[in-house]
Structure 1
Amino acid sequence: MSYNIVVLDGIYANPGDLSWEPLNEYGDVTIYERTSPDQVLERAANADILIINKIKLGAAEFEKLPNLQLVIISATGMDNVDLDAAKKYDISVKNVSGYSTQSVAQHVFSMILTLYNQVEAHDQSVKNGEWNSDKGFSYLLSTIPELSSKTITVVGYGQIGSEVAKVSKAFGMEVLIVSNHSKHLDDYELVSLEEGFKRGDIVSLHWPMTPEREGLINKKLLRTMKPSAILINTARGGLINESDLTDALKDKTIAAAALDVMINEPPVTNHPLLMLSNCIVTPHIAWASSKARSILLKKVFDHVANFKTR
């Protein structure tokens, strides 16, 4: 069976270092790096299969795309597609999971070590000539904590959370787990969200976004944290009340935060969190190692290969 396959925002899964070529086996392929909302219907008009990442699709689009049979989301989250509307129009929707576990865990620790070891600050200090200004053979800009003496609270114990816990244990850290599903863990201590925030030197968020979790990380919870604690978010921006986090960082309620996700992506350039020296922000890249994206594309191709036309 030959399909008309259209990729609407392919630059995220493949910015140019990988190949879409395997798709050619299954039909005619058109690839767009980015597609604006007002271009979706025109570009998808003849598609049997749409491959998207963050493009929003709902009843208004499905009604005008009579050929569409399959939507493949090249990501795990499916909140950008109206699944009820897809079912109504007999359109299958597939996502991809389990491709970025190691990539996200690696990014979590890159953030932790950036904050703890301050490699960039010390590098800049040396290049500014400070090592040659009577500081001796070694000097510190500020105290460097050691991970082996710290407690990390991992919020969410799915594939990524469990990988972060495993890496944390390898560093010799005490690991606390917040999980709504696990009842008992042999290797780690299971705690409530409140206890995890109170005891953690580092709190790393790995919960999926649900309506009841919107803004759950708020002023009340942040105030229970240690003044020396740091908050890491590689999950979903909506978990955090960004105004409350801004206040907590400004008044030193907590020491620092490192965010790979925000409520609005991209955020406005003058977003208060971007103005703070104790807040690191990266552009939603924790998932995007080359290996993770290779696995992602392979799973997208598998969805096409395994699709049975209606």
Structure 2
Amino acid sequence: MHAVFLDKQTFSSSIDFNAIEREVTKLSCYNMTQTEQVIERCLDAEIIITNKVLLTNEVLKQLPKLKLICIAATGTNNVDINAAKSLNIAVTNVSGYAGTSVAQYVFAQILSYYQQIEHHNNNTALGLWSSSETFCYHGNAIAELAGKSLGIVGYGNLGQAVEQIAKAFQMRVLISERPNAKSIRANRLSFEQVVQQADILSLHCPQTPDTEKVINEEVLKQMKASAMLINTARGALIDNNALLLALQSKQIAFAALDVLEQEPPPANHLLLNTNLSNLKVTAHIAWASSEAQQRLINLLAKNITSFKSGTVLNRVDLET
């Protein structure tokens, strides 16, 4: 089977694609592909691998040889699933590959903030320790994580991986129920309770109509003034204008964002031009440890193997 990888550049150059190559007769890779280039590049393809390239109904109906779409991510909003169904094209995604990587990122941000490593390193580089009258130079306060409350919004693989590390630090973990839920499941608190009690609020939920701008002006006002907000999920979960105002006014203490609502973002994006010391933004890399990227590629290969053998694995087109 001929497979075409439309956006290989979304992976690091060091990642090994041999697992996929072993499952296909030919693998054609393109660093990036615009929507208008898909048909030309995939006319002879039986398998398309895409991370973020859009596959619309208009595109899919012009690819008669196509049998399988492998989405190289968990999210599926870049593929018209209903159109694929109607054309008898199978669609798979991948999940469970990035829990360790995302949890490590979350705690890297938490530890950086609470331990103030960069600040204290700078103090030493500036000679403040050498000129100190005492054996240590204190600078910004350091706070322990033990006893702090970590609120988790989205309790799937990623949220659970974060919880596991939090417990090792003796933190109090608060699992949020879905926003606006009518009932609260066992071992969870309402979204409002979690927002109000959390010292750190970490977002891991999918983007849906119910979660878009779930972190808005009203919610930010309910958070502790000392709270830290971390978003490794989707940028659209946050109302950017409301967050900017909350950070400027010190309504909340700190925000660490790995995602924005448009990626890549425009250079003049609201949150990229703030000069705020209480905001850090990284380029959607929480998921992207070398190990997680390799796991993802290997999972894609397994999806192809299963499809060829007639077994069902990660088929999103069969979900109801």
Is this a same-fold pair by TM over 0.5? yes
CA deviation map 1:246-300 (0-9, x unaligned):
1100100000000111101122223232222211111111111112112111110
Alpha-carbon separation, structure 2, partners of 1:163 and 1:108: 10
Task: Name which of structure 1's ranges 122-131 and 62-71 shifts more when overlaid on structure 2.
Answer: 122-131
* Aligned position for 2:14: 17
TM-score in terms of structure 1 length: 0.93
Q: Distance in 2 between matches of 1:150 and 1:38?
A: 50
State yes or no: 1:101 paired with 2:119: no
CA shift for structure 1 position 197: 0.8
* C-alpha separation in 1, matches of 2:199 and 2:268: 29
Instruction: Count residues in correspondence.
Output: 303
Q: Which amino acid aligns with 2:15?
A: L
User: How well do the aligned residues superpose, as a CA RMSD in angstroms?
Assistant: 1.7
- Residue deviations 1:10-56 (CA, integer Å, cap 9, x gap): 1223x121211233332111111222233222222221100010111
Query: CA offsets per residue over residues 51-73 of structure 1, 9 Å max, x none?
Result: 01011111111022111111101
Offset at residue 309 of structure 1 (A)? 8.7
Whole-angstrom CA distance in 2 between matches of 1:255 and 1:135:
31
CA distance in 2, matches of 1:135, 1:194: 48
Deviations 1:157-193 (A, max 9, x none): 11111121121111011111103497213xxxx2111
Residues 69 and 309, structure 1, Cα contact 8 Å, conserved in 2: no
Of residues 20-29 and 148-157 in structure 1, the stretch that sits farther from structure 2 once superposed is 20-29
The structure 2 residue matched to 1:54, chosen from 52, 55, 72, is: 52
Equivalent residue, structure 2, for 1:41: 39
Partner of 1:294: 294
Partner residue of 1:177 out of 175, 178, 182: 175
Question: How many angstroms apart in 2 are the aligned matches of 1:125 and 1:35?
Answer: 47
Please tell me the residue identity of whatever aligns with 2:42.
A
Query: Aligned in 2, Cα 1:300/1:150: closer, same or farther, shift over 3 Å?
Result: same
How far did residue 149 of structure 1 move?
A: 2.9
Task: Say which structure, 1 or 2, has more relative contact order (CA 8 Å, 6+ apart).
Answer: 2
% identical aligned pairs? 43
* 2:314 match: none
SS of 2:173 mapped into structure 1: strand
Instruction: Give the Cα separation in 2 of the matches to 1:265 and 1:92.
Output: 27
Cα deviation for residue 119 of structure 1 reads: 1.4
Scaled by the length of structure 2, what TM-score is found? 0.90
Counterpart amino acid of residue 23 in structure 1:
I
1:272-287 correspondence runs (5 A)? 272-274=270-272, 275=274, 276-287=276-287
Aligned residue for 1:132, secondary structure, equals coil
Residue 94 (structure 2) pairs with residue 92 (structure 1): no
- Residue correspondence of structure 1 range 105-144 to structure 2 within 5 A: 105-134=103-132, 136-144=134-142
What SS does structure 1 have at the residue aligned with 2:134?
A: coil
Q: How does 1:126-165 map to 2 (within 5 A)?
A: 126-134=124-132, 136-165=134-163
1:307 aligned partner, one-letter code: F
For structure 2, the 5+ residue unaligned runs are 311-320
Matches within 5 A, 1:109-258: 109-134=107-132, 136-180=134-178, 183-185=185-187, 190-258=188-256
